[in-house]
Amino acid sequence: MTKTLINICGSERSGSTMLDLILGNDPKAFSCGEIYALYRPWRKHHFTPVCGCGEECEYLREFKQIREDQFHNLLFETFGFSWVVDSSKDLNWVIDNQDWVIRDRGRLLNLVIWKQPGSFCVSFLKRGEGSDYWRNVFINYYQRFLDTELPFVSICYDDFVRQPEESLQQLCRLVGMDYFPDKLNFWEKTHHQVFGSGGTARQVKTGRSEIFQQDENSDRFAQQIKQVEAKLADDSAVNAIISTLRSHELSLNGKNDPTLFNSSHGGKKTSWYYRHKLHLKFRRYFPGTLD
């Protein structure tokens, strides 16, 4: 089995942490969470990492002792995992880890998760943001990812919610991972992820999942959702991104297709890559707080 890094890429509030843990629910898979923040801290809580298992375990101790470019291969070679699932999402990290894994003779699947504008909008409305806030987040992240020109497979969160078992079986076939009936029950495995969604972490502790439930806030924000959907007809930027994501969606791709994996080249570095690199260096010395 070729050692495989699965980068789960997506904007904030896209469901990436949940998908990370679900794919990591396999004896030969490891869920990282947003591991990049351990090596590139930019918020105050990043300097005091806590493992998902709740302890200062051997994984976290090892992670603290190695360089960032050695991290994924440590899990492959030292700990013997076949799949490492990384939901860092930070695009500088995603671009950089292509080189590290390829150097160490591994392969990468860049799995892009996204939400339809209506449900994506709700994710921010219930946190007090305006009805147009989602659009800037959506374009800034997904257009920048497309600018990297990396190979990828996309999965729509809304589609996944409607058919979780079928979608997960397709994902498992794609990466060569065994599917079993309780694979969706990610909380039944002890994970060692760091950072990521606090809400998902609480679900792990309570032993239940909410990803497959209809968002209870949809009715509450029905009018705003209608306004968002009405504007989409004339929104060429958003529609172009969605069209590209749809053309790479999971349902269109076959079992373990080697052309979908990156094993030969890194991503394209545009001007934002270097600006973000400087920003992270600044934040290392002047970290922000968790909103």
Q: Where are the domains of the chain?
A: 4-285
Q: Read off φ and ψ for residue 95, nearest 5 degrees.
A: -65, -45
Tell me the pLDDT of the chain averaged across its residues. Answer: 91
- What is the reported pLDDT for 200? 63
How far from the centroid of its chain's Cα atoms is residue 152's Cα?
12
Q: The domain 4-285: what is its CATH number?
A: 3.40.50
The SS3 call for residue 155 is strand
Kindly state the average pLDDT of the residues 252-257: 72
CB 104 within 8 A of CB 1: no
Question: Could you give the residue ranges of the DSSP H alpha helices within 27-75?
Answer: 36-39, 58-65, 71-73
- What is the reported pLDDT for 155? 97
- What is the reported pLDDT for 30? 98
Q: Is the pLDDT of residue 212 over 90?
A: no
Q: Read off φ and ψ for residue 222, nearest 5 degrees.
A: -60, -40
- What is the reported pLDDT for 198? 64
54 vs 240, more confident: 240
pLDDT band per the 50, 70, 90 thresholds, residue 9: very high
H/E element holding 81? none
pLDDT band per the 50, 70, 90 thresholds, residue 208: low
33-52 per-position pLDDT tens digit: 999 999 999 999 999 999 99
Q: Read off φ and ψ for residue 105, nearest 5 degrees.
A: 65, 40
- Start-to-end CA distance of the chain, whole Å, equals 41
86-129 per-position pLDDT tens digit: 999 999 999 999 999 999 999 999 999 999 999 999 999 989 99
Kindly state the average pLDDT of the residues 260-266: 92
Residue 288: left if φ>0, alpha if ψ -120 to 50, beta else—which one?
beta
